[in-house]
Structure 1
Amino acid sequence: MTSRITQPLSRRTFLRGVGVTMALPWLESVPVWGDDKPRNTSSEPPVRFAVLFSGNGYHSKEWWAKGEGKAMELGKVLDPLKPHREKLLFLRGLYNQEALIGGIHSCQTGNLLTGAHLAPAGEIKSGISCDQLLAEKTKGQTKVPSLVLGTEPSIAAIHKNYSMIYSSHISWSSPTTPTPLELYPALAFDRLFRDEVGKADKSVLDAVREDATSYKNKVSTADQRRLDEYLSSVREVEQRIEQAGKNGRLQGWRPTLEKPDMKRPADGIPQDIDQHMRLMCDILVLAFRTDTTRVCTLKLNNDHSSLRFPHLKVDYMIHHLLSHTDGADWLKVNQFFTQQLAYIADKLDAVNEGGRTLLDNSMILFCSSMMTGNHNNDQLPVVMVGRGGGQIKTGRVLDYLGKPNRKMCSLYLSLMEKAGVRLKEFGDSKEQLAEI
């Protein structure tokens, strides 16, 4: 029988060191979730919410699903998610009415998570996005209210009378303020663990080693193993960030110079998109695993994206132009994006949290601002993995085409309630999706 701590610790338990505060993962020994009063005596883990976005839609013939549970069949775009079919929802027919107002990329993306009317003529105005509303409502329960990650810089331009800022952001802190994207893995990592980035010049684990050793003596044997595994995963990501961009590979067109003729800039964004995305996925998992935040958006690329994919041998055309081809290479790129979601799902599903997995305690949306590269957004591609703390019946295909309530904001109302935030209305909806 495992022993439990007899005296409860404070509202939130952290490992601390010089310039470092590291939140702990779920542990059976102590109720550490939520506020000063635990929600119940079993110390039930919280529900996490994340959105992964990839721009320009997907292959027109390979985005589909049918059937249920283990027997669910998936189109080739979603093939990487087959191991998670029983924890998946395929949502067909949802859309944003206000995204049909005109233009293409810019005004189709800026209200994806808000459902709000977008201001034209270069003005920037949308609405507060559902992720930021959740972050505001849960502020103070975690170290970081929300994590807003990206892999491609914002676009500063006007397209079809709408600001391309809309194409670059899905998270909005206010109707006129897109939440800044963190593009640098090292800075995103620092935000999770460091109190003052410039103050700590050694490994996060070295900084908290003394506190961690002391804390291990207070928890059960099983929790000691969980803590060791967690600390090892933190160090693994630290080491990979240190190596990011140091391997000398260059993305895209290769110049004639064998070596640069100027001093290499300081480490920043990894040069290879596969490495960049994978680091951001790991940081998302760490953030949820440590309960440093319960809300995250990861923008895998912009709508109207300029990314290239040399690691896939698809280097002859940028993402946006490739989306209009609907060929084998476009499918290959689609699957690469879906692999990021599958990787996150694998990682989350391997973490035990009190009888459920971290994936069971999460809701991870995967979506785009249009169905295909032809800009059609009268219905949107939407998949979700995770069970919202056991509140959502998964392994299903839900078809809303032809139904009176098929608003994306109705989906957000449903999911926000699962995360503990019940609203009468959000964006353009006053009604939840009854099936979720």
Structure 2
Amino acid sequence: MIGRYQINRRQFLRGAGVTLALPFLDSLRSVSAKQPDAELPRRMLLISNNLGVLPQQFFPETPGRDYELSPYLQALAEFRDDFTVISGLSHPDVDGGHSTENCFLTAARGPTKSGFRNTISLDQFAAERLGPVTRFPTLNLGVNIDKANRSLSWTRDGVLLPAEDSASALFRKMFIQGDQAAVKHQLHKLDERGSILDTLLDDTRQFRSNLGRDDQSRLDQYLTSVREIEERLQTARQWELRPKPITDQQPPDDIRDQKLFFEKFDLMLSMGRLALESDSTRIVTLMVDAFATPVFKLHPDQNTTDGYHNLSHHGQSESKVQQLIDADHQQMTLLHKLFGQLAETREGEDRLLDRTMILFGSNMGDANTHDNNNLPILLAGGGLKHGQHLAFRSDRNKPLCNLFVTMLQYLGVETESFGSSTGNLNEMT
């Protein structure tokens, strides 16, 4: 049960254009979280820019713990011991340039083949195994995202889960308690959906015995999906009856101008961090849709000469490369800010950074050539064994899903495999 916050919620921090809640304090915890035997939760934030970064600027030249920071990683030097950069990872048989963007967390093979259907994403897989421990099993966010066609989050049946790109809507969802009439209306909607599913199950059971074996198997899979939805509706109903954290602050203003790319990225990172700090969820995904980003502001007085996609196909143009370097450096600066804020927030005796794995990466190894090998991967936080460059073969990549297995295990999910994994990356544990 989530208890009401017991401090004055007027005490807030302001920054990055968004009103932020206080960090995780003992007085903010629920009654159950205060029990001495309660284990502190582990969390993960999964970030992908679907056009990647310039690989020559991102990857260090030498492996191991004594590696020299690359130009991009110098922005993160303060947290060198809190992150690992990994080269030589990719998803086997996931190629086709930009078509791979929806497969970054699924590793579904052959995205350009006829009849392709995606598979379950890392966040949804973890949420299934962990169960309804928070109000939102996961939160799926986006920056400049084409919500109808792109997402990091996919169901077990390969269905796209739309990303939330409105900071104000997300704030209301997490913190604004509706009045009694609004709550009653929401409960009625949930009950109504449940009754429809009950009727559907009754109808399908009536003719199951007349089907062939293959059709019975297909129907059983369908019924399993319906039962899973029933369970989610029941969980949603229970959470609807519980009070949300209370705040008298106004929701943040949305940034609607796609040109303000870094401001929007910063805002959604702040919202993801706020969701984790308040324990609204323990899993956040964030797709930075650079592909859909038009000409954008590099600096207050300087716009790019092209949209992000055209810049990524730089063809070694010095002007385009320099603009990309500038853009990539600003993304690293935002990561540094995120690491710093999580490091300053305490949860028990740990920094929140030590309880939160942050994955930053891309489905594109080199957008200029549509290469989906040697993906740029950085994993920070989570209390893992960091401070190193793990370098695997560039001509025979290890499956990125090996890293996903280690992340799942650290999150508390008992599994030995995910997607195309052939093992794990327990070098970090």
Q: TM-score, normalised by structure 1?
A: 0.70
Residues 147 and 162 of structure 2 are in contact (CA less than 8 Å); yes or no, is this contact kept in structure 1? no
Q: Secondary structure at the match of 1:383?
A: strand
RMSD value over aligned CA atoms? 3.3
Aligned residue runs from structure 1 range 14-413, under 5 A: 14-15=4-5, 26-28=24-26, 32=30, 41=36, 43-65=38-60, 66=62, 73-100=68-95, 103-106=96-99, 108-120=100-112, 123=115, 125-154=117-146, 165=149, 168-196=150-178, 238=250, 241-242=252-253, 244-245=254-255, 272-302=260-290, 304-312=291-299, 313-325=302-314, 327-373=321-367, 374-386=369-381, 388=382, 390=383, 392-401=384-393, 406-413=398-405
Deviation sequence 1:279-332 (CA, Å, 0-9, x none): 111111111111111000111224x33333224324210111111225211101
2-structure distance, mates of 1:169, 1:104 = 16
Residues 295 and 303 of structure 2 are in contact (CA less than 8 Å); yes or no, is this contact kept in structure 1? yes
Deviation sequence 1:166-192 (CA, Å, 0-9, x none): xx2222123421111101111111222
Residues 120 and 154 of structure 2 are in contact (CA less than 8 Å); yes or no, is this contact kept in structure 1? yes
Letter in 2 for 1:330: L
Deviation sequence 1:199-249 (CA, Å, 0-9, x none): 89xxxxxxxxxxxxxxxxxxxxxxxxxxxxx99xx777x46x23x45xxxx
Distance 1:378 1:182, change over 3 A: same
Please list every run of 5 or more consecutive structure 1 residues that lacks an aligned counterpart in the other structure: 1-10, 17-21, 157-164, 201-229, 246-267
Letter in 1 for 2:412: G
Distance 1:23 1:123, change over 3 A: farther
1-structure distance, mates of 2:179, 2:306 = 38
Letter in 2 for 1:307: P
Cα deviation for residue 15 of structure 1 reads 3.8
2-structure distance, mates of 1:364, 1:26 = 18
1-structure distance, mates of 2:68, 2:306 = 31
Cα deviation for residue 342 of structure 1 reads 1.8
Deviation sequence 1:97-125 (CA, Å, 0-9, x none): 1213xx3211x222211112245467561
Q: Secondary structure at the match of 2:127?
A: helix
Q: Which moved more, 1:272-281 or 1:60-69?
A: 60-69
The number of residues matched between the two structures is 344
Q: TM-score, normalised by structure 2?
A: 0.71
Distance 1:89 1:60, change over 3 A: closer
Letter in 2 for 1:152: N
Cα deviation for residue 195 of structure 1 reads 4.5
Q: Secondary structure at the match of 1:178?
A: coil
Letter in 1 for 2:261: I
